[in-house]
Amino acid sequence: MATIRYTKDHEWIRLDGDVATVGISNYAQAQLGDVVYVELPAIGKKVGQGDEAAVVESVKAASEVYAPVAGEVIAVNSELDATPAIVNEDAEGQGWFLKLQVANTAEIEGLMTEDQYQAFLETIE
């Protein structure tokens, strides 16, 4: 079963074996408003934990998407090039940004569970 975790920067990560799917949380999507552009990384790019991995732009602002764990980009959601609004419709599903070959799966243990993330959101709303 896949493990889902969250960061304080509102990224989500779904780990399945040593491959992680990364996107922005429903909360982040709601804060951004209508997403109009997503800049995805190149396949093969190596990112460290906390490094900028992508950029998402909305009618309100542009925001960096950070890598929740270190790894190498092995896939990107190219559907977002033509239809960035997928992020608004399904941020934690079809609106994923990239997939990483994870360098150290233990890094995910330092991220928040869904319950911890919900509690974190209550402190900032």
Give me the number of domains the chain comprises. Answer: 1
CATH code, 8: 2.40.50.100
Per-residue pLDDT reduced to its tens digit, 48-74: 999 999 999 999 999 999 999 999 999
Cβ atoms 23, 95 nearer than 8 A: yes
Place of tokens 């233990």: 106
Residues 17-41 have a mean pLDDT of 96
pTM, rounded to two decimals: 0.95
Q: How many helices (H) and strands (E) does the chain have?
A: 4, 9
Cβ atoms 85, 58 nearer than 8 A: no
Cα separation, 27 vs 3, in Å, equals 19
Cα separation, 34 vs 103, in Å, equals 33
Where residue 3 falls among pLDDT bands split at 50, 70, 90?
Answer: confident
Q: Which domain holds residue 85?
A: 3-124
